[in-house]
Structure 1
Amino acid sequence: MPHQTATTGRPPIVALCGSTRYWDALAEANLYETAAGRIVLAPGCNMKQPHLLWADPVQADRLKAQLDALHRRKIDLADEVLIVNPGGYIGDSTRSELDYARRLGKPIRYTHPTGEGEAGRG
């Protein structure tokens, strides 16, 4: 189990960020982070898979904006961010979330090396 956060006495909260095209990798990271004793905040919708909630393009655009804002609130709540980036892939949405987390000063980990000097999760 990881150490509790010094200020709250609760397990650390980690926000998972990454492309939903790698939904299985996000689920695997969620599993490992949970087993390590962390509270995990992760994407809750995979809009790359068909669903009635985003079948209409106008609805899909509205929902995408809503989910992007919601994920930023998850980053706000998190003690750290884990970028799920198989093969080092970081798309535009994930890059935006990464930049946001950096602006907030959140510690950032990666599941795979990025070529930018950051190490993977190991």
Structure 2
Amino acid sequence: MCASTRYWDELADANVYETAAGRIVLAPGCDLKQPHPLWATPAQADRLEQVLGDLHLHKIDLADEVLVVKPDGYIGDSTRREIAYARSLGKRIRYTYSPGAEQL
């Protein structure tokens, strides 16, 4: 799954639906917008953001398809990069909460 972490709750909800549908879900695991000791300083947050970005691309490598969660149609730069990467690998891409797109 890909999305802006501003949609953390929607990501969690989509994870439930995808899991209940019998799919193995690879999703973001950290919300850097929420306080946590692992990214308490700007230097820690910058380092972890790079690590997580690379990790998410590796998750896309493992995925059969990518589900983009976008409740209000917003797709940020990181998610755009992930979609482009998935497309370059020939991955199927689905979108949630978008008129005319495949829904959960």
> Shorter-chain-normalised TM-score: which range?
over 0.9
Aligned to 1:121: 103
- Which of the residues 30, 33, 40 maps onto 2:15? 30
Any gaps of 5 or more consecutive residues in structure 2? none
Q: Deviations over 1:65-114 (max 9, x none)?
A: 00000000000000000000111110111111011101111000000227
Q: How is 1:1-122 mapped onto 2 (pairs within 5 angstroms)?
A: 16-113=1-98, 119-122=101-104
* Structure with greater contact order relative to length (CA < 8 Å, sep ≥ 6): 2
User: Quick check: which has more Rg, 1 or 2?
Assistant: 1
Structure 1 outlier segments of 4+, above 2 Å: none
Find the residue that maps to 2:25 and give its secondary structure. Answer: strand
Report the TM-score, using the length of structure 2 for normalisation: 0.95
Between structures 1 and 2, the one with greater strand share: 1
Between structures 1 and 2, the one with greater helix share: 2
Between the aligned residues of both structures, percent identity stands at 69
Q: How many residues align?
A: 104
- The code of the aligned residue for 2:61 comes to D
In structure 1, C-alpha distance between the alignment counterparts of 2:66 and 2:24, rounded to whole Å: 12
Report the TM-score, using the length of structure 1 for normalisation: 0.82
